[in-house]
Structure 1
Amino acid sequence: MPDVEDENARAADLDLLDTYAREAGRIALGYFQADPQIWTKGDSSPVTEADLAVDAFLRNGLLGERPDLGWLSEETADDGSRLSHDRLFVVDPIDGTRAFIAGLPDWTVSLAMVENGRPVAAALFCPPRDEMFLAGRGLGARLNGVPLSTGRAATLEGARIAAPKSFVRRELLARAGMEAVPFVHSLAYRLALVACGRIDGAAASGRACDWDLAAADLLVSEAGGRLVELSGGPVRYNAADVRHAPLIASGEALSGPLLSFFSTHMAADGQPRS
């Protein structure tokens, strides 16, 4: 029988993330389409004053609520102290910053609670579309309160796939009978679209980090799908190196065919083969 006490604790974790994701989204919307100040980070990616304001709000608020947890965020310097924690928050204040800067709607606030290397609670909020994705381990996944389920596609023919051009050439997808859907800037949102069945599969190149993946990973798994490495193995979080190898998300039935296709057409260094 399920552990009621554990389920209650997980539900409380989920309520906490839900509350903070919504408020973080409200803060971010205050800067959206308002010409925020922009800087360039060391990896040449952009960061805005909105990213930093949301990060500060989440860090102060969430760690104030759960001071015993570790912390990992894209916009907080990583001092390594998280490695001594079995449980931690993994946060991307704004996933899809380029979309945010361009005034496009496909950016999200991504919050996860990770325990022993795997996500156990997740809130992914897309403020411009007022879409709140929530998942708790063993509690299922929901979008604005409606239960989620991945698509049932079992073959590549007709499968709708979201993948960056750097991952696989789109003509290769078409040649295999798949449909390349328009690019989605937020990787977390791209994976969430798999969880809710709007697309059949999604790929992440070898540049993805813990904060891009943890919340969406739980959404996909609780919706009946899989986010896996090309080896077929699950993704582990809170290692010393937060970067990950290329990954594939899909419903259970499509996972094998997609892994076979991408393993054939993408090199180990993440560069597409002809």
Structure 2
Amino acid sequence: MQNYSNNLINMEYMNKLFDCIRIIDVEFKSIYQEKRIDTCVDFIPEFNFEHRQDIYHQCLAQDSAIYLSKKESHCLLMYVVLPTLVDKKRLVMECIVNMTKRLDINQLYNSNDNLYKLAITDELTGAYNRRYINQKLPLAIEKCFKNRIPLSLIFLDIDSFKIVNDLYGHEAGDYLLCEFVEELQNITKENTDWVARYGGDEFLLCLTGMDNLDAKEIAELIRETVEQKLFVYSGHRIEITCSIGVYTVDSFHAIPKFEKILREVDIKLYEAKKAGRNKVKH
């Protein structure tokens, strides 16, 4: 049995909270199940197979983190799209609780926010994660296109981050990533919609309504601040720099795919690295 607890939540806790939990793939096939589902839902018509399958596919198509049935139902159904792939397939956690056995559902509904936060937050740095980017960037693009305002992305990479890990250890690297995110959030909190960890030592900033020149100024401010800051970990003085790419969508002929925008800003980041690092390219 594969361990899914590191992907999203503590499965031991969830098995105590729900009467039945399944991990299912895009073909609605169960690849993990703790208890038999028919002990919870067979006697309730609205939770028959077809109904659950329809809800599941709606949730998956929208990349929704949470789906909840009506509170007055005898059973409560929840779906959580897991931020992971197995054999290139998206997985969903189906959770069912028999309300005839539960007197207090406040704990269950209050857990909604926690589940969603866990699904979209990078565990180490507290920034948003790749899943959040995939959810929110298309919405930001659509919003800017509809309102005919620019959308700028800033893509950052810590220069020679591997050297920090090699010299001072991975704990020092983790410390540096957290401090780096804090600097990003302090510098950009009034101008940035969100800061997300794209992966490793790469981070993405989304700025709606900001043109390319203004975004470049913010990127330069970030670069200068990071270059001048002295990071200290366990007595070690660590100096770093970062390379930054800036890309702006300001054409409104057609809504661009978010994957295309990510490729474009990644190209700008690559140009910054190629130019000698500690540079901003826009």
TM-score category, normalised to shorter length: under 0.3
Larger-gyration structure (1/2): 2
* TM-score calculated relative to the size of structure 2: 0.26
Q: Which has the higher helix share?
A: 2
By relative contact order (CA 8 Å, sep 6+), the higher-ranking structure is: 1
* TM-score calculated relative to the size of structure 1: 0.26
